[in-house]
Amino acid sequence: MSAFIIEKLCYGCQRCVDACPSGAIRVFARVATVNSDKCIECEECIEVCMHGAITFREDMEVTQRND
Ligand code: SF4
Ligand code: SF4
């Protein structure tokens, strides 16, 4: 399990990139992505995201896009 970006809520502000201690997050085309191999599940990114765009995969079923 690792952090998961809800793409439609992400503004590409990079606050999570700066906060992540393991370099697991990158922003491409104004949407953040998490490298699950690097994520240490510290939840720092969730703390700093002002848009509620980060969660953990357990929550995916209720938050993911269906398109
Ligand atoms: S902090 Fe939130 S809105 Fe900003 S890039 Fe990260 S996930 Fe997207
Ligand atoms: S939970 Fe921690 S290690 Fe994982 S992406 Fe967020 S800030 Fe980085």
pLDDT band at 59 (very low <50, low <70, confident <90, very high): low
Total domains in the fold of the chain? 1
**Ligand 2: lining residues by beta carbon, under 6 Å:** 2-3, 19-20, 22, 24-25, 34, 39-45
Name the helix (H) or strand (E) containing 12: none
CB within 8 A of 13, min separation 6: which ones?
Answer: 50, 51
List, for residues 1-45, the tens digit of each pLDDT value. 899 999 999 999 999 999 999 999 999 999 999 999 999 999 999
What is the pTM for the complete model shown?
A: 0.86
Atom of ligand 2 nearest to the CA of 42: 2
pLDDT value at residue 58: 64
pLDDT value at residue 1: 82
Query: Going by CA atoms, what residue is nearest to atom 2 of ligand 1?
Result: 49
Domain CATH code at residue 18: 3.30.70.20
Question: Which residue segment(s) compose the domain that 18 sits in?
Answer: 3-63
